[in-house]
Structure formats: C-alpha cells, structure tokens
Structure 1
Amino acid sequence: MTRPSTSTSTSTSGSTSGSTYASGAARASVAVAELDLDGPDGPVLSLGPAPGGPPLGEGDIYALVRLRGRPAATVYCRVGAGEDPAEVLSAAFRARHDPGRYTPSAAEPSAVDPPAEPHAPPRTTVVVGTRERAGQLARALDSLLAQDHPDFRVLVVDNAPVTSATRDLVASRYAGRVDYVHEPRTGLALAHNRGLAEADGAVVAFTDDDVIADPHWLTALTAPFAADPGLGCVTGLILPARLTTPAQILLESHGGFAKGLEPRLYDPARPPADEPLFPFTAGSFGSGANMAFRAEALRAVGGFDPATGTGTPARGGDDLYAFVRVLSAGHRLRYTPWALVWHHHRETWRDLEDQAYGYGAGLTAYLTAILVRRPALLPALLAKLPRGLAHARAITAHRPAGEAEPAHGAHGARSYPWPRGLSRLERRGMLYGPLGYAKARRRISGDGGRT
C-alpha cells in the first residue's frame, strides 16, 4: 500500500495549499506510453491504455519499456522539437540499463506465453469491489474480459450501493460474462470477504474499479501458484494510466503504487536481510489493486479484517493486514512486475491530501488489527519498534526535489519536492489509525457483524 487511494475526506488545516503546490510541481501533462524494443523494424512506441492524455511528440513522456514482451523498466524523457520520441526513449533506457539482464528464467513464468504444463495457471476468480463508479468499472471490466488466462471468472461485488447503476451495468452490458453480488455493509474489506466467500477458484485475485489490466496480467499473477505449492500470495506492478494533473505527476514522481521492476520472493523461513522490520513493512510487498491469494490460505487466516480498508473509519490497511497474516502463517509471497495493471490516480490536490492522511491511518490501523487478532506477534513487533518508528519517519519525510523515495525511488519519473503539508498529514493519519480501527470495530459490532 503506497499512498493508497481513499474516498473519505479529512480536515486539511495547516497543509500546503493547492496553489502553493502547483507553483513547485509540474503544470504540464505528461504522455504515458509503451515502448517495445523488439519491434520488427526497431523500437515501437505507442500510447498507454488510457485515452485522454497528451499525444506522443514534443514534450514530456513517461514510458514503460518492454523487452521480449515483459516490462523491463520505466523511463521519463523530455522530447525536443523534431526529435523522434522512440529514439529518445530507447537511448535513455539503454544509457541506464543493460538489455541483456532481461532474459526469461525458469524461476518466473512468462507474462506473454502461457507457461508449459505442469505450471498452467490455476482456476481463478477475479474480485472487483466497487461502489457507485459504474463508468470507470466498465473500463476495468473490459480489460479483465480480455485476459489471456485460460480459466477464470470475474465477480463484481457491489459495496453498499445507493443506486442500481452497477447492477444495471453488469446485467445489460456483461450478462453471462461477469457475475454480480451485493454486499450491503460498507467497507472494502467486507466486499473482498464477500468475494472470497463466493470464489470458486483455487486462486482469488483482487483488483480495483479504477484500473486497466494488461492482457497478460492474470496469467502472470497466478501462474506462480502452480509452480510453488508454498506460495500464499502474489502481487504485481501498478503503473499510472494517465499523468494529466500536477497531483498525479507528484504522486508518481515519488514512486506511486509501484514496487519496482525486479521480481522478489518473501519467505518467512528466510527473512530478507535488507528488511529488518519484516514482515511488518507490508507496504513493500504490494498493493490491493493488484494481488492474488491461494484461496485456502486466505480463508485459513480469516480473510480480510472487516474493520480495515477504504469505507471504514480505519481508512485503509486491509491489503497490508492480509499480506502479514498470510506470511505469518508460513506462506511465501512473491512480487512479480510482469503482472501489470494501469491505475487511474486521483486527480486533484484534495485527493492527494486524502491519500496522504489515509496512507498514514491505514498503516497504523493494520498494525493494530494484527496485534488485536494475533497478539502472539506482539513480542516480535516490540523488538522491531524502535527501527519501525525511524522507518515511519523516513517514509513521511519531506524530500527535496530530485531525491528518490527511500524504498523504491521514482522508477523513471521526474522527481518533485514532496510537500511538508503532505508529510504532516501522513503522520497525523498514523496517530489516528488505531482510533479509526477501534471505531470501525465498534461500528461493525453494532451492525451485528463479525469483527
């Protein structure tokens, strides 16, 4: 969960104003593109999957570079008048990366070709939780139905709707291709748990209604489960669908939702040496818009905590909670950048303020949830708490222009200053998180639901 999107607003007194922010960050739109270096006649540059951005040509371009069909890197360039954008981006990639490093290996299934038996991707249910966003939901569903996975089902969970728009959309446009269920209680974790209960696949994948999934996404995300019986969770790469507002550009310049372009395996039996807080730094594992679980493993740990996540007073943390619970049960977690979705970042300064506050709140809410539900983990957390506080301060620090985010950097995007007002909001959110979790538990208990 890297500055996850939230829908609940919060007080922003004392934060940087939108006008102040706009004076320090980019004002122009950035074109989002894909660069295939293996075109028959040389590199092929195309616009990204989302319409409405600036055209390719003179100006700023943010591009995903593919080699042998796989995401290999992201590059950011300013293309001058009369320059060929494909040539400029290709040169920038080759100046920073060795193309020979990007070769398929037996350790990771190809995101392009279906893996050979016995590692065919398992039957999967794709769960999309949504609430009153039928327009963008249709865009996401179109991309999900275009997946090359051989055996999957798409399930829309309509979370506490106030209109029939989502139900009508599924019935009229996707009848027979997409299943619909209604979850009357508000909260993304509750929607995900309803999807988990309804899932009929060995694997259950989750994504959001504001993404466009790459056609190879689901195959790349789920094939690792067939290759590794000890795998409990797989997460994937999230890149920006559009960069048309200063808020979107600022967020992506500090890492956005991406976790890098290198695959990684997290094994509780072999804690990573470079993450001394493991497994409590769950934000480095992935994000809820792009994750899949072995269904039996997720059910065995009780699914998602319903008092976490968007739509609750806790504001977030449902994905992080699930990651840690699955890892603490002894399962491995794999991050694979070849499982790609394009995310529509929130567009306004107020949205970014909400994200900052919600990120902080969700972070400490999920830690509270872990300790409430798994108190046996308290000694391990306390032992790592001093370094955890230093880590929390580092990830919310005001960073000067050009300084990369500590965990993952800007992965090819131009860096702009992270405003102090947003850092303060993240820290305020961290202070609020445990209280928000307690409020959410009381609300669910009052509604007669399990906590």
Structure 2
Amino acid sequence: MNTSRKTSPATLAGPAVSVLIPTRNRTDDLAQLIPSLTQQTVDDFEVLVLDQSDDHAAVEQLVDGVGDERIRHVPLRSIGKSRALNVGIRIARSDVLAFTDDDCVAGPHWIENALACERRDAIVFGRVAAYEHDESIEHVPTLDIDEFEETAGRRWRSVGVIGIGANMVAPAPLIKELGGFDVDLGPGGDLKAGEDFEITLRALAHGAYILRDPRLVVIHSGGRPMKDRVASAHIAEAFVGIGASLGKHARERDIRAVTAFVDELARALMLSGRAIVRRQRPTHLRRSWSLIRGFLRGARRGLSLAPDDWSIRKSSPTPPGDLRP
C-alpha cells in the first residue's frame, strides 16, 4: 500500500465510501475512469461497477485486469440507470455513497473531498467539467460551481440545474428513506432522463438539504456533435425528464412543482418568441414541447420507487444476477 496516502479508519460497517458506477456498453470509457479511482489519495473505499452491458464478459475482463479487490463487477440483467443505482444502493457496504458516470474521470482527491463534504442530512453535487474539446462542433454537458451553495429543505422555487448525477455524494440512509431512484427516469428508463433532478426534489420535500461544493470535480467526456440530431435529441430528453419529474411531484399535490413547471415553460416560450422576432431558429420550441410531454406523462404515472425493504444491503455478497428494484 502507498503509505503517502491518507487512510480512513476501517470499521466493521465496511469501507468509508461506496462508489456507484452504472454502465452499459461503454468499456472504452470505463477503461479511463477505473484507473482514476485506483489512484485516489485515500484507500478506504469500494467501487461497484453496475454492468448492464450486452456483453458482461468485456467489463468483467476489464475489472479483473485492474487487479484491485476494491473494484467489484456487478453484472445485471435489467436495463436502466435508476434500476442499476438502486441495486448498488442495496449492496453497498458504506453509508456514504458517491455517484459518477462511466464517461467521466475522477481527480485524485475526489473521494477524499467526498468524505470532507458529506453530510447526513444532505445530497451534495460537485462540478462536472468538460474534457478538452472544440465547443463549436461538440456539446458536452457540464455544471460549473464556483462557490459553496446550500438549498434548505422545502425552499425550492424554480427549476434550473441543481446538480448532475455524474458527480454526487449522499448518505445511504437518506437515499433509502427517500425510496431510491425513480425507475421511470434516467437513461434506459421509459422517460429517458431526470433521475438526478427528481431525487433532489424529493429530498427537498423531505426536509433534506441540497449542497453544491466546488471541491468535488469530475471530468466529463460524453460529447455529442453539435449538428448531430443525437445532440438535439439528448437535450429534448433532458427536458422530458425535467417535465416528468415536476409532473410526478404535481401528482403528489406539491404546488411548487406546478409553479416551477409554469415558470420554466413560460421562460422557454419567451426565448422562442425572442428568437422568432430576431429571425433565428426557435430551438426552445422543441424544449417547450418536451417539457409539456414530460409533465403530462409524469403526472399520469406518479412516482415509481424501489421497495421499502433494503435489508440485504450489508449482509449479502454481490448477486449473481439482478436484484430488481
């Protein structure tokens, strides 16, 4: 072991941090992320690679090749990021959960900073920076955080981007109490996106806090060509997810969700109108329609959460198949 690293005290409860990585058919990206996790400034953590790939063998070979017993390959039969994360929450051996995506790279202090900023009553989001790229031809979703911010429970009033699930830290007891991630939302789910946004709304309604801490940083390489329909579709899916999240909470009779939906829709329509007046392409019209579609679908469905029984979390080994939420 590298004695220059800071080692957190071991406990019978397990490692200090459990890192959850949902992945599907992105072995090349994982090959960049996993080495960055083995080079952290602390040693007391586990990494759960929640694998929903068509070919589990490729990811298993990658994990085995790293040769680090802290990295665990968890093959899953189900599809959907939220379902994978809910499995990870069940089998994680730490009460501190750190989330990132398979197309990110973590800096060497990421887990150390996760431990420093973790709070039992809060979900913490960090910066998501873009890898070096040409912004004129490629769009990379990012989140800039320049200073520490705190949103108190029950005080959210608008949509905005609260945080991105590619860089998130949360206490396992809080996430379990909330019911885990909504399985309709997120990549692979019926509503494609918004799983990180929705769980923040649920946390705030629960009385928890949402923090944004600039010390937490990951580099995101998930770029999409600017002129490609894939990029446009991805943005539209994001607004479907936002709308669906608000619709689900409106069904729970949270008037703030309705207010936030109306505000966001009015903003998108205003921007579209301004573009039309200036004879520019009204890109926000598609976002407006996506927001409406998402809201209606979310309001019809309601919340789709994991079961209340999380009892297998610490006592069971990695499952041979899938633990369906």
Shorter-chain TM range is 0.7 to 0.9
Amino acid at match of 1:240: A
Matched, 1:339 2:216: yes
Q: Do residues 257 (structure 1) and 142 (structure 2) align?
A: yes
Is 1:381 the equivalent of 2:257? yes
Instruction: Compute the displacement of 1:257 (Å).
Output: 2.0
Q: Which residue of the partner structure matches residue 190 of structure 2?
A: 313
SS in 2 for 1:369: helix
Q: CA deviation at 1:400?
A: 9.1
Q: Where does residue 146 of structure 1 map in the other structure?
A: 39
| Deviations, residues 44-72 of structure 1 (Å, cap 9, x unaligned) | xxxxxxxxxxxxxxxxxxxxxxxxxxxxx
Matched-pair contact (CA < 8 Å) for 1:236–1:335: yes
In structure 1, the partner of 2:166 is 289
For residue 131 of structure 1, the aligned residue among 8, 20, 24 is 24
The CA deviation at 1:187 is 0.6
Residue number in structure 2 paired with 1:38: none
**Percentage identity across paired residues of the two chains:** 24
Aligned pairs for 1:49-128 (under 5 A) are 123-128=16-21
| TM-score under structure 2 length normalisation | 0.78
The structural deviation recorded for 1:440 is 11
**Aligned residue for 1:355?**
234
Which secondary structure state, in structure 2, belongs to the residue aligned with residue 304 of structure 1? Answer: coil
Instruction: Report deviation, 1:238.
Output: 0.7
Contact 2:95/2:171 (<8 A) preserved? yes
1:421–1:398: structure 2 CA closer, same or farther, 3 Å change rule?
Answer: closer
User: Hey, what's the Cα distance between the residues in 2 that align with 1:393 and 1:343?
Assistant: 31
| Shift in alpha-carbon separation, 1:279–1:329, aligned structure 2, 3 A | farther
Alignment-derived partner of residue 426 in structure 1: 287
- Alignment counterpart, residue 390 of structure 1, candidates 263, 267, 292: 263
Output the amino acid matched with 1:433.
G
Q: 1:222 to 1:235 in 2, by over 3 A?
A: farther
Partner AA of 2:41 in structure 1: D
| 2:196 aligned partner, one-letter code | D
Deviation of 1:160 after TM superposition, in Å, equals 5.1
Check if 1:304 corresponds to 2:181.
Answer: yes
What is the alpha-carbon root mean square deviation over aligned residues? 3.3
Amino acid aligned to 1:378: D
What corresponds to 1:325 in structure 2?
A: 202
Q: Which residue matches 2:133?
A: 243
Q: Decide whether aligned partners of structure 1 residues 379 and 319 sit closer, same or farther in structure 2, where only a CA change above 3 A counts.
A: same
Letter in 1 for 2:254: L
Other structure's SS at 1:164 match: helix
2:247 is aligned with what amino acid? Answer: T
After superposition, the C-alpha distances for 1:384-434 in whole angstroms (9 at most, x for unaligned) are: x2x642334435735999xxxxxxxxxxxxxxx9x7354233223213224
In the alignment, the residues of structure 2 paired with residue 175 and residue 115 of structure 1 have an alpha-carbon distance, to the nearest angstrom, of 16
Report the equivalent of 1:267: 152
Contact 2:198/2:242 (<8 A) preserved = no
Q: Could you tell me how far apart the structure 2 residues matched to 1:115 and 1:123 are? A: 10
- 1:182 deviates by 1.9
- The Cα offsets for residues 247-277 of structure 1, whole Å up to 9 and x where unpaired, read as 43xx46xxx42143111011126x3xxxxxx
Give the match's secondary structure for 1:153. strand
**How many residue pairs end up in the alignment?**
292
How far residue 353 of structure 1 moved from its aligned partner, in angstroms, is 0.7
Cα deviation code 1:285-315 (max 9, x no counterpart): 2101000111000001101011111112201
User: Matches of 2:297 and 2:58 in 1, distance apart?
Assistant: 30
Separation in 2 of the partners of 1:141 and 1:127? 12
* 8 A contact 2:146–2:214 mirrored in 1: yes
Superimposed CA distance per residue, residues 337-381 of structure 1 (whole angstroms, 9 cap, x where no aligned partner): 111011013231223212211111110111233345xx1x42343
| CA shift in 2, pair 1:196/1:163, >3 Å | closer
Amino acid at match of 2:201: V
Q: Structure 1 134/436 Cα, relative in aligned 2: closer, same or farther at 3 Å?
A: farther
Q: Distance in 2 between matches of 1:140 and 1:188?
A: 17
TM-score by length of 1: 0.58
How far apart in 2 are the matches of 1:366 and 1:126?
25
Q: Per-residue CA shift, 1:302-333, capped at 9, x if unaligned?
A: 01011111112201011111111122212212
Q: Secondary structure at the match of 1:322?
A: helix
| Letter matched to residue 317 of structure 1 | G
Q: Is the 8 A contact 1:313 1:439 kept in 2?
A: no
Aligned partner of residue 214 in structure 2, secondary structure = strand
